[in-house]
């Protein structure tokens, strides 16, 4: 069955509100070089891995579950002639057996392990340095729903403001050494590429059985982003020493 994220993220080079420049900064903060071996958990279309291997000459082991993203990653790695530097592993990261690496990444996918704390607990034994991308609230408390006292948070997100997010990370025993936060521009680029990609997909697939469902979801996501998320959602890569 056609999967929402496979449609709306089919054009994203990096599937998070960040940029290639910030991924290069992450690589510098992690001290990467040609001898480094990096683990990238939930590596998507291999955007971050490709940037890091190109810039630092490091090896990257990518673990990803979605066949659509793995196929795109394979194509991109071949085009960039990085097949000797980037290994793609098709697996559920939750059960993937970790080895020892110089750095381990989990960018925008701590849900794989059940949140920030279990992710850091799991990865800290695998590498001396970690890069974990996590959402946080830039404003607190959240603005209420119009005409309602309902809490805007959904059941699956329990994000916190940034100081508490760092405290939560450090409660696992890691030390947060550095922070690479997303700008409004990073967010707009990431979010609005969903709109444009969906628009093109709907034009190309007018009779698709999920077209109306996707159209409605896209409209609701866009409205929520414009009305309140854009003002309060943050995302940052925490660079941690294990």
Ligand X SMILES: C[S@@+](CC[C@H](N)C(=O)[O-])C[C@H]1O[C@@H](n2cnc3c(N)ncnc32)[C@H](O)[C@@H]1O
Interaction site with ligand X (CB under 6 A): 14-16, 42-44, 47-48, 63-66, 69, 92-94, 107-109, 112
Tell me, what DSSP letter sits at residue 164? H
* Residue number, nearest CB to ligand X: 44
| Cα 30 from Cα 130, distance rounded (Å) | 8
* Three-class DSSP category at 33: coil
What is the nearest approach in angstroms of ligand X to the Cβ of residue 152?
A: 21
90 versus 167: smaller Cβ distance to ligand X: 90
| Cα 60 from Cα 58, distance rounded (Å) | 6
**What letters, b where the CB count within 10 A reaches 16 and e where it falls short, cover 193-229?**
bbeebbeebbeeeeeeeeeeebeeebeebeeebeebb
108 versus 146: smaller Cβ distance to ligand X: 108
Alpha helices, DSSP H only, in the chain? 4-8, 20-29, 47-56, 67-79, 116-123, 162-170, 184-204, 211-224, 230-232
203 versus 234: smaller Cβ distance to ligand X: 234
Q: Region of 109 please: left (phi>0), alpha (psi -120 to 50) or beta.
A: alpha
93 versus 129: smaller Cβ distance to ligand X: 93
What is the nearest approach in angstroms of ligand X to the Cβ of residue 121?
A: 17
Inter-residue long-range contacts of 211-215, CB under 8 Å, 24+ positions, other chains counted = 214/4, 214/7
What is the nearest approach in angstroms of ligand X to the Cβ of residue 104?
A: 12
15 versus 173: smaller Cβ distance to ligand X: 15
What is the nearest approach in angstroms of ligand X to the Cβ of residue 52?
A: 11
What is the nearest approach in angstroms of ligand X to the Cβ of residue 67?
A: 9
What is the nearest approach in angstroms of ligand X to the Cβ of residue 148?
A: 29
62 versus 166: smaller Cβ distance to ligand X: 62
């Amino acid at each position: 069955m056609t999967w929402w994220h496979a449609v709306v993220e089919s054009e994203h080079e990096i599937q998070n509100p960040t940029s290639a420049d910030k991924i290069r900064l992450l690589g510098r903060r992690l001290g990467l070089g040609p001898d480094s071996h990096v683990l990238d958990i939930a590596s998507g279309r291999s955007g971050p891995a490709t940037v890091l291997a190109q810039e630092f000459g490091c090896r990257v082991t990518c673990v990803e579950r979605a066949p659509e993203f793995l196929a795109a990653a394979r194509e991109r790695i071949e085009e960039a002639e990085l097949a000797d530097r980037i290994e793609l592993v098709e697996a559920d990261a939750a059960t993937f057996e970790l080895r020892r690496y110089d750095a381990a990444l989990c960018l925008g996918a701590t849900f794989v392990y059940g949140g920030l704390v279990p992710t850091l607990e799991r990865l800290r034994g695998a590498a001396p340095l970690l890069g974990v991308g996590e959402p946080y609230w830039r404003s607190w408390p959240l603005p209420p729903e119009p005409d309602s006292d309902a809490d805007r948070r959904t059941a699956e997100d329990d994000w916190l403001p940034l100081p508490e997010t760092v405290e939560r990370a450090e409660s696992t025993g890691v030390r947060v050494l550095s922070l690479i936060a997303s700008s409004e521009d990073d967010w707009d680029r990431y979010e609005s590429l969903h709109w444009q990609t969906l628009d093109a997909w709907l034009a190309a697939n007018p009779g698709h059985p999920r077209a109306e469902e996707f159209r409605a979801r896209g409209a609701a996501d866009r409205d929520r982003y414009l009305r309140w998320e854009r003002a309060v959602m943050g995302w940052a890569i925490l660079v941690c020493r294990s």
